[in-house]
Amino acid sequence: MVSKGNIGVVITVATLALAYILLARPESVNFTIGFNITDARGRSLAGSDDQQPVVTILFGNTTLQKRCLSCLFDIKNIELINGTANFRFNLTVAWLGRQVYYHSEALPIDSSVNNTLVKILNGIIKINAINLEVYGVNDENERLSGCLIEVRELKAQVRCGQTIALPFGAYSVANASYEIAPNKWVKVPVLTNTLYVSNTTLTAQVTIGVAGSFSIDVLRADGSPLSGAGIELVYVSVENVTVFRGVTQGAPIRLRNIPYGRYLVTVTWKGERLLQTLVQVDRTVRNVTLTTRIIPTVALTVLDADRQPITGLTLRIVGPARDTLASTDASGRILIQDVVEGLYTLSLTWMNRTITRQVYVRPGDVFVDLPLRRLTLKLTPNARCGDRCTLPPGLTVRVLYRNAVLVEDVTDHPTSTAEFALPNYVLTDELLKLEVSWNGTLLMVHSFTPFERVMVFELRFFELSIKITDARGNPLPRALVVITDSLGKRRFASDVQGLIEARYLYGDTALIEVIWSNITVGKHVADAASEQITLNTYVYPMLVEVEGVLGPVANAQATVVVMGFDYSFNTSAITGYDGRVEMKVPFLPGSNSTLTVTKGRITSQRLLSLRDLTSGDPVKVKLDLLVDYGWIQLRTGELIVLSTALAISLAAFLFAYRYISTRRAVKHVFITYGGELEEEEERGRGVFSRLKGVFEAEREEEEEEEEFFYEEF
């Protein structure tokens, strides 16, 4: 049974225990961390909200993360021990895939921070980024206003002149656009592909494909400046945008800030289009010169049938960009300024008859003939041939008028020009027909109006002087040369100097084919204007030098075999006393060639390369030939074996010889002196002395015989 005193003690102990538990239980606080993110210089970061940096705070097992510039992070349930704690956290800022800031800190806190805002790092975090102005420049380093720059890492376009914030580092400029006209943007190439951003970077300059200056010069046909022509410049690389429209003033038109690309330039004259062409504007093309068909001054000379000028005659002139009336002066001439080259119609009234003529106006004088005349035809060779070409004999010329033969003649000798005069007048407003043939081949059928007294026609005869050489420029004689012109094939052969004089070729070009050893070793298309043609062929002169072990090898046979795509060739030659022989080899691109050198039964073969043929050095061939005597050829190894065999045979012979000689001498001695030895033993020493003398004599005889044998051997 518990007494009242004990109950009081129990209550007291329980109260103390509860107080201890309440006082020892940890206290927790909640607070907010706040700070502002600036660039490295403490300025607010420029840019859009969707490009804000990512801030991560890591403490304990808790990670907080958000995109922000003015950042607030709520920290919950941080326990205090004895009323204080060290709040340890790591703070990381990442932007555009790069870490731009890192900070680790143990922040002392107590119960006073509960439900308050705690500014860390003085409330400002300066990250490794900078505010900078991005602007574009043209290829002359001048600022541009209407452009957009796309930075690959931003995945967004930046308007030129805009200030943005970027982390430190290098950035790729992916694309650029330029405002070619209001609200008309075109893509242009980027000439500066990389931006470098650091703490000192305040501006970023990007060079884009915009020409700072571009000029267009419009000229007459003679190269003088043209005034009053309309000009239009249209950008056609992406879509048709008119960049410029104006009128020439006799000087180049200078344009500024033209995007790189293709432009369609149109030049008009009095409402008619003179020319239209595409031009490319880029870093290398800064101007374009357009030459029109406008002739500064054209003189029309009007003549009668007697070639006398007609004065005071009014003509109506209709043609490209022109319809006007003009009168001839005292010389029968009409001067017209700024005339477009082309076909014009001249009409007039004369003697109650209307006569119409069409003339092609080009630089120089233009003659108008009315209405009858005596006509002379003049034939000339190819104008591109100059004065060195002639017309061949045997040219048959016929002039027809309404199926009637007005003249028919034949040239009987070579001539630089051939003239044929018609015996009677012809109507100048009727068509005549000219027929020219040579050796039964019709060269020309031409219908014309005889508006001049002398009509000149070009027969495209020309001549060529051709020199055929090998690959090293040496004359190639006796080569077959096939020349194909407009009339067919003709065959020639080069002389000892490799020269060919080909006359009376027809056309503007001729195909020259050189055939050597039934192989086409050279082709060339010759122009009628060519005078002297040197045609290098694929025939290579080659010097073969054959050497044995002891020096040059004479009378060796050198054989070259060439295998080409559609041909094969082989040739052989014999070396001279110096071991050399010259050969000519056709070696076309893509061919394979082998050189085989044979002397008796000794053979050496090697592949020939193009360098062997073109170097000019002798092609050296080594033969393993030590002995060359008539029909006997021995290699080095063979001679060594043969010499060894002979030495062994000689030694064996000498041994046998000495053995037989010794046997014969002993037998001779015993036959001669054998009785005395048996009978007189006391004479032994004398006998032996005599034997010794005999043997010595025999040895001397043997040595003499051996010496003679060696000398004979």
Q: What one-letter code names the amino acid at 192?
A: T
The closest of 583, 592, 584 to 610, measured between CA atoms, is 592
Strands (E), 320-417: 322-327, 333-340, 342-350, 353-361, 364-369, 372-380, 395-401, 404-410
pLDDT confidence of residue 229: 92
The closest of 222, 493, 189 to 338, measured between CA atoms, is 222
pLDDT confidence of residue 218: 94
Strands 203-207 and 129-137: what pairing?
parallel
Domain 295-369 has CATH 3.90.400.10: no
Q: Which fold has domain 24-127?
A: Immunoglobulin-like (2.60.40)
Q: Which fold has domain 130-208?
A: Immunoglobulin-like (2.60.40)
Residues in the chain where the model's pLDDT stays below 70 = 1-26, 48, 349-353, 372, 424-426, 630-631, 639, 666, 669-670, 672-713
The closest of 467, 466, 461 to 505, measured between CA atoms, is 461
Q: What one-letter code names the amino acid at 214?
A: F
pLDDT confidence of residue 677: 43
pLDDT confidence of residue 670: 66
Q: Which fold has domain 373-459?
A: Immunoglobulin-like (2.60.40)
pLDDT confidence of residue 214: 93
pLDDT confidence of residue 350: 46
Q: How many other β-carbons are positioned within 10 Å of the β-carbon of residue 573?
A: 16
Q: Which helix (H) or strand (E) holds 434?
A: strand 432-438
CATH number, span 211-291: 2.60.40.1120
pLDDT confidence of residue 590: 86
Token match 């015996």: residue?
423
pTM value > 0.75: no
Q: How many other β-carbons are positioned within 10 Å of the β-carbon of residue 501?
A: 10
The per-residue b/e assignment along 615-639, b for 16 or more CB within 10 angstroms, e otherwise, is eeeebebebebbebeeeebbbeeee
What is the assigned CATH class of domain 539-634? mainly beta
Q: How many other β-carbons are positioned within 10 Å of the β-carbon of residue 170?
A: 10
Domain 464-532 has CATH 2.170.220: no
pLDDT confidence of residue 248: 92
Q: Rounded distance, CA 184 to CA 234, Å? A: 13
* Residue 349 to residues 47, 316, 370, 450, Cα–Cα distance (Å): 82, 10, 11, 20
